[in-house]
Chain A
Amino acid sequence: MTDRTLAEDAIPARIAIPVELRAVAIMLTLAAFGYVLFPDDLAFLTRLISIALLVLSLDLVTGYSGVATLGHSAIFGVSAYAVGNLCLAGQSDPLLLLVAGALAGALMGLASGALITRFKGLPQLVLSIAVGQLVAALANKLSGLTGGSDGLSGISPGRVFGIYAFDIYGRTGYVFSVAVLIVVFVVLLRIVRSPFGLLCRAIKDDSLRARMIGARVYPRLVLMYGVSGVVAGIGGSLAAINTGVVGLDSVSFERSAEALVMLVLGGAGSLWGALIGSIVFQVFEHYVSAANPFHWMTMVGALLIAVVLFAPKGLLPLAISLTGRVASALRSRA
Chain B
Amino acid sequence: MLRTSLSIGLDAISYGMVLFIISIGLSIMMGLMRVVNLAHGAFSMIGGYLASFALKSAGLGYPLAIALAVLGTIVIALPIEFLLYRRIYRKSDELTQLLLTIGIAFVIIGVANYLMGPTTKSIPLPAMLSGPVDLGFRMIPAHRLFAVACGVCTAGLLWLLIDRTGFGIRLRAAVDNGDMAEALGIKTQILFSATFALAVGLAAFGGVVGAELLPIEPFYALRYMVVFLVVVSVGGAGSIPGAVAASILLGLADTTGKYLAPEYGEFFFYLAVILVVFLFPNGLLGRKH
- In the complex, what distance in Å separates the CA atom of A298 from the CA atom of B109? 7
- In the complex, what distance in Å separates the CA atom of A309 from the CA atom of B103? 12
Contacts of A123 in B (CB 8 A): 233, 277, 281-283
The reply on B270 being an interface residue by CB < 8 A is: yes
- In the complex, what distance in Å separates the CA atom of A303 from the CA atom of B110? 13
Contacts of A295 in B (CB 8 A): 110, 114
The reply on B194 being an interface residue by CB < 8 A is: no
Which residues of chain A from 276 to 299 have any CB-CB distance to chain B below 8 Å in the complex? 294-299
Would B100 and A308 count as touching, CB distance under 8 A? Answer: yes
Contacts of B184 in A (CB 8 A): none
Would A303 and B233 count as touching, CB distance under 8 A? Answer: no
Q: Report which of A141, A257, A260, A261 forms a contact with B265, defined as CB distance below 8 A.
A: A141
Contact bitstring A125-138, B, C-beta under 8 A = 1, else 0: 11101110110111
The A contact surface, by secondary structure, is: helix
Would B114 and A298 count as touching, CB distance under 8 A? Answer: yes
Contacts of A299 in B (CB 8 A): 110
- In the complex, what distance in Å separates the CA atom of A38 from the CA atom of B135? 65
Smallest beta-carbon distance A163→chain B, Å: 44
The reply on B155 being an interface residue by CB < 8 A is: no
Would A298 and B267 count as touching, CB distance under 8 A? Answer: no
Given A122-B36, A253-B226, A264-B99, A134 contacting B270 (CB threshold 8 A): yes
Smallest beta-carbon distance A254→chain B, Å: 8
The reply on B102 being an interface residue by CB < 8 A is: yes
Number of interface residues of B (CB under 8 A): 48
- In the complex, what distance in Å separates the CA atom of A137 from the CA atom of B268? 9
Given A122-B30, A141-B265, A294-B113, A301 contacting B98 (CB threshold 8 A): no
Would A261 and B229 count as touching, CB distance under 8 A? Answer: no
The reply on B111 being an interface residue by CB < 8 A is: yes
The reply on B165 being an interface residue by CB < 8 A is: no
Number of interface residues of A (CB under 8 A): 44
- In the complex, what distance in Å separates the CA atom of A296 from the CA atom of B107? 9
The reply on A326 being an interface residue by CB < 8 A is: no
- In the complex, what distance in Å separates the CA atom of A299 from the CA atom of B110? 8
Contact bitstring B60-101, A, C-beta under 8 A = 1, else 0: 000000000000000000000000100110000011101110
Would A301 and B270 count as touching, CB distance under 8 A? Answer: no
The reply on B273 being an interface residue by CB < 8 A is: yes
Would A141 and B110 count as touching, CB distance under 8 A? Answer: no
Contacts of A294 in B (CB 8 A): 109-110, 113-114, 118, 218
- In the complex, what distance in Å separates the CA atom of A36 from the CA atom of B36? 42
The reply on A23 being an interface residue by CB < 8 A is: no
Given A126-B277, A133-B226, A304 contacting B263 (CB threshold 8 A): no
- In the complex, what distance in Å separates the CA atom of A305 from the CA atom of B97? 10
Would B103 and A305 count as touching, CB distance under 8 A? Answer: yes
- In the complex, what distance in Å separates the CA atom of A231 from the CA atom of B164? 54
The reply on B213 being an interface residue by CB < 8 A is: no
- In the complex, what distance in Å separates the CA atom of A152 from the CA atom of B57? 45
Would A302 and B103 count as touching, CB distance under 8 A? Answer: yes
Contacts of B281 in A (CB 8 A): 119, 123
Would A268 and B95 count as touching, CB distance under 8 A? Answer: yes
The reply on B53 being an interface residue by CB < 8 A is: no
The reply on A52 being an interface residue by CB < 8 A is: no
Q: Report which of B36, B102, B233, B282 forms a contact with A304, defined as CB distance below 8 A.
A: B102
Q: Which single residue of chain A is at the shortest CB-CB distance from B289?
A: A121
Contacts of B265 in A (CB 8 A): 137, 140-141
Given A137-B265, A294-B218, A126 contacting B103 (CB threshold 8 A): no
Smallest beta-carbon distance B234→chain A, Å: 8
The reply on B266 being an interface residue by CB < 8 A is: yes
- In the complex, what distance in Å separates the CA atom of A304 from the CA atom of B234? 28
Would B106 and A297 count as touching, CB distance under 8 A? Answer: yes
A-B contact pairs, 11 of them (CB 8 A): A121-B94, A123-B283, A126-B230, A141-B265, A260-B95, A301-B102, A303-B103, A304-B99, A304-B106, A305-B84, A308-B87
Given contacts A254-B222, A260-B95, could you give 5 more A-B pairs where the C-beta distance is less than 8 Å?
Answer: A122-B233, A141-B263, A264-B99, A301-B108, A305-B104
